[in-house]
């Protein structure tokens, strides 16, 4: 065999070996993924700290506190302390009585003890239409009321009206404003004294007003009303006059002039007392 023939036979074998090598290399690359890479060792770099800028969080907007309405406990209003106490009542009356302009009659009245109790008893009797002769600071006329008998009818003798002139002038001189001021000072303990007497439906102020109402309700009687005898007493023939309270009959016995003075003072006292009650 010639060399040329032997060379031709060797070529296919060499090509097969080369092809197999290339194929094996290609398979290895595909399986490992190391294709197109240079074997360069990984470079380890030092990690530098990174400064992080701290941005402060925004402050929350102020929230107004919710106002919670708390209902306050309403305590009952206590009555004011009295200007005058039971311990100082008598002394205070003696020191203040001159302002009333009641003369010796009131000076004698406050000279004794239990002034408040006696004064309250007078007011209570008057508002019930009674005349508390034993408690009043002025006495009754000593002479009986004169009558006039003409044989046909018996009437009140007008001359008897003058027996009450002094009393009417005494009433007329009383200072009403001073009376009201004293009533304001004594109001609490006087009302308590009235309650101890069993009068629970009146305070002292309303009791005084009731007394003035009783006096002012006295009608204007004729100059000489006719009388008749009933047992030992003289009574009015007119049933309407006879039905009046004892206080109102007493006002009538004073006569028109004197009863007018007493009623005018009662009206003045009533007005001042009502005005004082509104302003207080």
Q: Is 186 exposed, middle or buried (0-12, 13-18, 19+ CB in 10 A)?
A: buried
Separation of alpha carbons 20 and 28, rounded Å: 12
Is 58 part of a structural domain of the chain?
no
pLDDT, position 218:
96
pLDDT, position 28:
47
Min mean pLDDT across 78-82, 140-144, 195-199 is at: 78-82
Is 151 part of a structural domain of the chain?
yes
**Phi–psi pair at 218, nearest 5 degrees:** -65, 125
Is 120 part of a structural domain of the chain?
yes
What is the helix (H) or strand (E) element at residue 229, kind and residue range?
strand 226-230
Is 17 part of a structural domain of the chain?
no
pLDDT, position 24:
52
DSSP for 48-84?
PP-PPP-PPPPPPPPPPPPPPP-PPP-PPPPPPPPSS
Q: C-alpha angle with apex 140: 134 to 145, nearest 5 degrees?
A: 140
Is 259 part of a structural domain of the chain?
yes
Q: Which two tokens stand for residue 56?
A: 């402060």
At residue 122 the predicted structure's pLDDT band, cuts being 50, 70 and 90, is very high
Per the structure, the complete domain to which residue 250 belongs is given by: 89-279
pLDDT, position 101:
96
Min mean pLDDT across 32-46, 75-89, 228-242 is at: 32-46
pLDDT, position 6:
47
Separation of alpha carbons 225 and 160, rounded Å: 13
pLDDT, position 29:
44
Separation of alpha carbons 225 and 95, rounded Å: 45
At residue 73 the predicted structure's pLDDT band, cuts being 50, 70 and 90, is confident
Is 79 part of a structural domain of the chain?
no
pLDDT, position 54:
55
Is 122 part of a structural domain of the chain?
yes
Q: Which two tokens stand for residue 29?
A: 């690359």
pLDDT, position 216:
97
User: How high is the mean pLDDT of the chain?
Assistant: 82
- Our count of domains for the chain comes to 1
pLDDT, position 57:
57
**Phi–psi pair at 241, nearest 5 degrees:** -70, -40
Q: What percent of the chain has pLDDT over 70?
A: 72
Per-residue pLDDT tens for 10-67? Answer: 455 555 565 555 655 544 444 444 444 444 444 444 545 545 455 565 666 665 556 5
Separation of alpha carbons 146 and 153, rounded Å: 14
Min mean pLDDT across 38-52, 112-126, 181-195 is at: 38-52
Is 226 part of a structural domain of the chain?
yes
pTM of the model: 0.69
Separation of alpha carbons 26 and 56, rounded Å: 59
Higher confidence at residue 190 or residue 144? Answer: 190
- Kindly tell me if the per-residue pLDDT of 74 is higher than 60: yes
Q: C-alpha angle with apex 219: 215 to 222, nearest 5 degrees?
A: 135
pLDDT, position 278:
62
């Amino acid at each position: 065999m010639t060399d040329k023939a032997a060379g031709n036979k060797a070529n296919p074998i060499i090509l097969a070996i080369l092809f197999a090598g290339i194929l094996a290399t290609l398979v290895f690359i595909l399986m490992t993924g190391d294709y197109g890479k240079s074997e360069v060792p990984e470079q380890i770099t030092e990690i530098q700290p990174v400064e992080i800028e701290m941005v402060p969080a925004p402050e929350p907007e102020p929230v107004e506190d919710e106002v919670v309405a708390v209902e306050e406990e309403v305590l009952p209003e206590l009555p004011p302390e009295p200007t005058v106490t039971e311990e100082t009542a008598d002394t205070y009356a003696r020191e203040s009585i001159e302002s009333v302009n009641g003369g010796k009659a009131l000076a004698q009245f406050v000279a004794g003890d239990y002034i408040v109790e006696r004064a309250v008893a007078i007011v209570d009797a008057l508002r019930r239409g009674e005349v508390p002769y034993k408690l009043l600071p002025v006495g009754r006329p000593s002479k009986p009321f004169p009558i006039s008998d003409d044989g046909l009818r018996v009437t009140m003798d007008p001359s008897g009206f003058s027996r009450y002139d002094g009393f009417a002038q005494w009433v007329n001189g009383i200072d009403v404003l001073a009376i009201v001021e004293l009533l304001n000072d004594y109001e609490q303990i006087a009302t308590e004294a009235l309650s101890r007497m069993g009068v629970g439906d009146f305070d002292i102020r309303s009791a005084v007003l009731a007394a003035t109402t009783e006096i002012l309700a006295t009608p204007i009687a004729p100059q000489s009303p006719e009388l008749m005898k009933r047992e030992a007493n003289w009574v009015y023939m007119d049933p309407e006059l006879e039905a009046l309270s004892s206080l109102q009959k007493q006002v009538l016995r004073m006569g028109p002039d004197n009863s007018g003075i007493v009623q005018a003072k009662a009206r003045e006292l009533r007005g001042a007392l009502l005005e004082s009650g509104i302003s207080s």
